[in-house]
Structure 1
């Protein structure tokens, strides 16, 4: 099972590198969308916690 996880991780790394090399603009867009999603989630949690305190 550990061997399968290691192979899957290597495949994921190769795919990410291929995507960055082949289409860097698209890769940058995907990273930006990811960070925007994380930012929105953090803001929502902050608002939720603020409402709980009030």
Structure 2
């Protein structure tokens, strides 16, 4: 099980580097989408917590 996890982790790391090297613009777009999603989720949690206090 540990060996399979190590192989999958390395495959994922290699895939990420390959994607960044071959298409940096697309990789930047994906990172931006990810951070936008995290930001929206944090805002939603903040709004929810604020509504609990009121």
Residue number in structure 2 paired with 1:25: 25
Residue number in structure 2 paired with 1:51: 51
Hey, what's the Cα distance between the residues in 2 that align with 1:3 and 1:52?
Answer: 46
* Displacement of 1:42: 0.2
Hey, what's the Cα distance between the residues in 1 that align with 2:50 and 2:26?
Answer: 36
> What is the aligned residue count?
54
Measured on the aligned residues, the alpha-carbon RMSD in Å equals 0.3
Hey, what's the Cα distance between the residues in 1 that align with 2:41 and 2:25?
Answer: 24
* Displacement of 1:7: 0.4
| TM-score, normalisation: structure 2 | 0.99
| Structure 1 segments (4+ residues) deviating >3 Å | none
Unaligned runs of 5+ residues in structure 1 are none
